[in-house]
């Protein structure tokens, strides 16, 4: 057998092993960690965003003794609401979507980092452990006013 064939076979084997590892990682993320694409409950008609709950009432809503939902609508080039006030130590779930084009939702100094896609609802739960101010920024280029698109989160 020529040397080329031997190398070729080992590369093929390596390819198969990598494929199995990647499929395994995908299955693990999907089944064990529960990470998947949004289901039907995560879809929304962006044309009727302003009338569709929960986006008909953007803002901070208390859902439990120490739990809050923060509903945010994103437009070119603003967040509604632009200023969000939250108590320190509360479990906060951000629920956001876009009315028009793809926007970003990134809270400076935290791991909150979402993409807002028209027609899809993005969620992220977080607890602010210290009081302070955080900038909310759009980190997906969305047009001429992209650099002006920001909000503020005040933890008190």
Shortest distance, CB of residue 99 to ligand CUA, whole angstroms? Answer: 11
Q: Which of residues 51-80 bind ligand CUA (CB under 6 A)?
A: 77
Q: Tell me, residue by residue from 93 to 132, as one string, x for binding to ligand CUA by CB under 6 A and - for no binding.
A: ----------xx----------------------------
Going by their DSSP bridges, the two strands 150-155 and 83-86 should be labelled as parallel
With beta carbons less than 8 A apart as the criterion, state whether 51 and 44 touch: no
In 3D space, the residue among 94, 92, 86, 93 whose CA is nearest the CA of residue 131 turns out to be 86
| Residue 16 DSSP one-character state | H
Q: DSSP letters along 21-67, please?
A: HHHHHHHIIIIIS------GGGB--GGGGGGSTTTTS-EEEEEETTE
**Which tokens is 42 given?**
């995560």
The region of 14-22, 106-114, 127-135, 136-144 touching ligand CUA under the rule CB under 6 A is: 136-144
The region of 19-27, 35-43, 125-133, 134-142 touching ligand CUA under the rule CB under 6 A is: 134-142
Exposed, middle or buried: residue 31 (CB in 10 Å: 0-12, 13-18, 19+)? exposed
Shortest distance, CB of residue 101 to ligand CUA, whole angstroms? Answer: 7
Please identify which residue in 94, 146, 151, 153 interacts with ligand CUA, judged by CB under 6 A: 146
Please identify which residue in 49, 138, 153, 155 interacts with ligand CUA, judged by CB under 6 A: 138
Shortest distance, CB of residue 138 to ligand CUA, whole angstroms? Answer: 3
142 binds ligand CUA (CB under 6 A): yes
Interacting residue ranges for ligand CUA, rule: CB under 6 A = 77, 103-104, 138, 140-142, 146, 149
């Amino acid at each position: 057998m020529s040397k080329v064939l031997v190398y070729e076979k080992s590369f093929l084997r390596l390819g198969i092993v990598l494929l199995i590892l990647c499929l395994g990682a995908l299955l693990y993320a999907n089944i064990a960690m529960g990470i998947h694409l949004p289901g039907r409950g995560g879809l929304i008609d962006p044309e009727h965003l302003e009338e569709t709950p929960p986006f008909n009432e953007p803002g901070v809503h208390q859902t439990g003794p120490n739990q809050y939902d923060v509903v945010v609508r994103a437009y070119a080039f603003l967040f509604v609401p632009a200023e969000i006030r939250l108590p320190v130590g509360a479990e906060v779930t951000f629920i956001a979507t876009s009315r028009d084009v793809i926007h970003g939702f990134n809270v400076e100094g935290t791991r909150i980092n979402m993409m807002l896609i028209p027609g899809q609802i993005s969620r992220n739960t977080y607890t602010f452990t210290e009081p302070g101010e955080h900038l909310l920024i759009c980190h997906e280029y969305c047009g001429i006013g992209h650099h002006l698109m920001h909000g503020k989160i005040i933890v008190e």
